[in-house]
Amino acid sequence: MKYMIWLLVALVILVGGYIRLAPTDPDLWHVPPNGDVNRDMKGGVYRLVETGPEGLAQLDKIARVSPRTSVLAGSVDEGMITYVTRTKWIGFPDYTTVQQDGEILRIHGRLRFGRRDFDVNRHRVDGWLALF
């Protein structure tokens, strides 16, 4: 029984290490948001917001000061940015891609691991938008 407990502990450490250290390929995650309606999904959220042409610059300032959030790829000058936000304890990564499309800001927040995010992406994206 003692060996089973040590095996379980080792497995948890290995899985946690993989989640935190797994490489991220920007080509897979830094893609334009696709859709024409706001929607909440099991593993993420999609938002369209009329912000004017400076929406991406405003949201970038908000996202960059959010806890455990960093830029994966893109810039305001490019017109699209993908952020990585990690959970506090385990470090699960969530990806949020924001694209300026004329007067519209397209936002797609989604998880990387698992099938359901328990509305974490919805709360983060809607929280960012509430700060406009």
Per-residue pLDDT tens digits for 41-81: 999 999 999 999 999 999 999 999 999 999 999 999 999 99
Backbone CA torsion sign across 23, 39, 89, 60: positive
Neighbours of 89 (CB within 10 A): 7
Q: At what angle do helices 120-130 and 55-64 cross, to 10 degrees?
A: 120
Instruction: Inform me whether the pLDDT recorded for 17 exceeds 90.
Output: no
Rg (CA), the chain: 17
Q: What is the mean pLDDT of residues 35-41?
A: 94
Nearest 10 degrees: Cα torsion 33, 60, 124, 65: 150
pTM > 0.85: yes or no: yes
The pLDDT of residue 5 is above 90: yes
